[in-house]
């Protein structure tokens, strides 16, 4: 399979006519698929609606990092929310790693998971004190992170980075294969998945009725698992932003190129959060690089592949970081929307019997997956780990 998910051969039929269930989930990415499985295991009849195919958005096309709290800027989190809340958030992020690992075992998902840990590294000597301060803050919050000295860093990832912190938890995986595995688990469970079925509008009351182009769905509860697509639904809460993510895959790399890169452990590497870059070598001996922009407003026409300028920028930066890659061909590329919480806090928004989620706070496979459990907990009243925020009713008509 390609690094990023292609349309499945068994595309599920569109919703036609009227269907009824216990919960309607809009959005077939990682949160929606995980939520569908969680609700199903609790005995609910689930209706899952996806406007394209499950995994078509950023969830099936991300960088492939199962990263826990190491993606957080621990010191910044402490200043924003205080020690007690920061420690709680760190615990939620790290729980997401274990949750995904359990999913892989439970549903027999083979996605090339390499559980070798994660690293957050810097290319600049000036950033070393910041990483050191951050590592000590993370340790105080209970995170399993370690500040690497120069000898340890060179043994772990070679000379490309001048400073880094690492964790033994998490690793890298093929995001397309992971989402495909969740989709397969949903279908094998007998959950009704309707693809090619966008929501046009909904009405809530005692029961929610969702209108689609060819039919309707009705249930007591409606869940939006739409993340960066939430602005189309009028559901983006305060503190959330949408950003443009761009990813490229170059290679396959020769043995000489791999040796010159000198990345012996092939860990997933996150650049400091303000740079919003990442790099990893895949089992196919290709290198995946990602970057994110905050200056592209949601609603601009963004193609599913990067523009020439964006592609040149990210590839040029990649060649600057790793000169041995110059001349390596680009074999895959993707561009699209992702969501970002400026507080790094997972958020579930409740308005009557309508629940929405916005939890993509970086490299979010773990947290996105754990959202399924969070949503089910929120609906059945057992959720204690997320801040459920009551908000005003939103416009019901989708443009």
Per-residue pLDDT of the chain (399 residues; tens, 9 = 90+): 345 567 889 999 999 999 999 999 999 999 999 999 999 999 999 999 999 999 887 665 677 889 899 988 888 888 888 999 899 989 999 999 999 999 999 999 999 998 988 888 877 788 888 888 989 999 999 999 988 877 777 666 556 677 888 899 999 898 889 999 999 999 999 999 999 999 999 998 789 999 999 999 999 999 998 865 555 555 555 555 666 777 888 888 888 888 777 665 677 777 765 445 777 888 888 888 877 665 454 444 444 555 667 777 778 878 887 888 888 888 888 776 666 666 566 677 788 888 887 655 555 789 889 988 988 988 887 655 554 443 333 333 332
The model's pTM = 0.84
CA dihedral 102, 104, 105, 111 (to 10 degrees): -150
Distance (Å, rounded) from C-alpha 91 to C-alpha 150?
A: 29
What is the predicted pLDDT for the residue at 263?
63
Extents of the domains making up the chain? 17-61+176-237+343-390, 95-172, 240-341
What is the predicted pLDDT for the residue at 345?
65
For 240-341, CATH number?
Answer: 3.30.9.10
Domain 17-61+176-237+343-390 fold is FAD/NAD(P)-binding domain (3.50.50)
What is the predicted pLDDT for the residue at 1?
38
Q: At 26, give phi and psi (nearest 5°).
A: -105, 120
What are the DSSP E strand ranges found in 155-305? Answer: 163-167, 171-172, 192-194, 201-203, 208-211, 215-219, 221-224, 240-250, 268-270, 277-281, 287-293
């Amino acid at each position: 399979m390609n690094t990023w998910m292609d349309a499945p051969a068994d595309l599920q039929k569109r919703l036609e006519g009227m269907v009824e269930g216990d919960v309607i989930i809009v959005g077939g990415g990682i949160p929606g698929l995980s939520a569908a499985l969680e609700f199903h295991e609790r005995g609910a009849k689930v209706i899952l609606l996806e406007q394209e195919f499950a995994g078509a958005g950023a969830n099936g096309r991300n960088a492939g990092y199962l990263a826990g709290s190491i993606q957080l800027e621990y010191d910044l989190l402490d200043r924003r929310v205080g020690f007690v809340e920061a420690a709680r958030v760190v615990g939620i992020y790290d729980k997401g790693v274990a949750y995904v690992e359990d999913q892989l075992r439970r549903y027999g998902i083979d996605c090339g998971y390499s559980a070798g840990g994660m690293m957050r590294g810097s290319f600049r000597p000036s950033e070393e004190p910041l990483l050191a301060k951050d590592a000590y803050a993370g340790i105080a919050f209970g995170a399993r992170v370690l500040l690497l000295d120069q000898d340890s860093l060179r043994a772990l990832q070679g000379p490309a980075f001048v400073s880094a912190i690492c964790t033994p938890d998490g690793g890298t995986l093929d995001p397309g294969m992971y989402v495909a595995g969740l989709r397969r688990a949903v279908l094998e469970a007998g959950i009704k998945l309707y693809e090619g079925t966008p929501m046009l509008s909904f009405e809530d009351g005692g029961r929610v009725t969702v209108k689609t182009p060819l039919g309707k769905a009705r249930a007591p509860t409606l869940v939006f698992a739409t993340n960066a697509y939430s602005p189309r639904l009028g559901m983006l809460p305060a503190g959330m932003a949408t950003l443009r993510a761009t990813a490229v895959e170059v290679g396959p790399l020769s043995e000489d190129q791999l040796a010159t890169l000198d990345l012996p452990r092939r860990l997933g590497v996150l650049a400091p959060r303000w740079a919003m870059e990442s790099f990893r070598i895949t089992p196919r001996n290709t290198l995946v690089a990602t970057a994110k922009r905050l200056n592209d407003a949601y609603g601009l026409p963004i193609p599913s592949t990067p523009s020439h300028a964006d592609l040149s920028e990210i590839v040029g930066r990649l060649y600057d970081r790793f000169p041995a890659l110059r001349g390596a061909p680009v074999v895959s590329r993707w561009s699209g929307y992702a969501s970002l919480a400026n507080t790094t806090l997972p958020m579930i928004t409740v308005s009557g019997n309508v629940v929405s989620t916005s939890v993509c706070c970086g490299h979010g496979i773990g947290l996105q997956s754990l959202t399924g459990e969070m949503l089910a907990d929120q609906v059945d009243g057992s959720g204690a780990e997320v801040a459920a925020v009551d908000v005003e009713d939103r416009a019901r008509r989708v443009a």
